[in-house]
Amino acid sequence: MPSQLQNIADIVTASAGWKKAVPDDGGAFHFALEGGLDFQLFTPDSRTAVLLADLGASPAPGSTQGDEELKRLASVAAASLKKRRSAFAIAGERLELSRTFPLQEGDEQALRLLLRDFLNDLAWWKQQVKGGSANSSSTASSSPFSLGGWFSGF
């Protein structure tokens, strides 16, 4: 019987029209989308699912430019807390975005919505990291994932 994590990966691949995904040796599923929207799906404890995306190198602290960029990203992160459910973080020398949820959460439609929201957040954060305005926002109507976009099931 397929695991719940495999079922979630199958929702992603079926929605995108891809072949069934196979986990790596560590049990994580990796997805690469157009526009550099790459992410992985894994579980650290067999109860929680994690969607994780690398957003690139963290600005170097200690320089004026690096410190200013870190302040800008912190401001964007704080301002986005009410609208975005994914967590932006600095992990060592990398910026990342993650979203956790119980493996047993909801039905297929609820999981599709959760995945769509994560992908919308990922696309939005990619823009912010590139230097987008802290006041820019991504609405459902402008999202590549809200009206079918790349994932017809979303």
What is the rounded distance in angstroms from the CA atom of residue 107 to the CA atom of residue 68? 43
Q: So what's the pLDDT on residue 105?
A: 64
> Which helix H or strand E contains 87, and what residues bound it?
strand 87-91
pLDDT in tens, 1-50: 358 899 999 988 888 888 899 999 999 999 988 778 899 999 999 999 99
Residue with tokens 């109507």: 141
Residue of 98 and 133 predicted with greater confidence: 98
What backbone torsions phi and psi does residue 53 show, to the nearest 5 degrees?
-130, 140
Give the model confidence (pLDDT) of 114-130 as tens digits: 999 999 999 999 999 98
pTM strictly above 0.85: no
Tell me the C-alpha to C-alpha distance, in Å, between residue 97 and each of 18, 140, 141.
Answer: 24, 19, 22
What is the share, in percent, of the chain residues with pLDDT greater than 70? 82
d(CA 78, CA 90): 14
The torsion angles phi and psi of 142, rounded to 5 degrees, stand at -100, 0
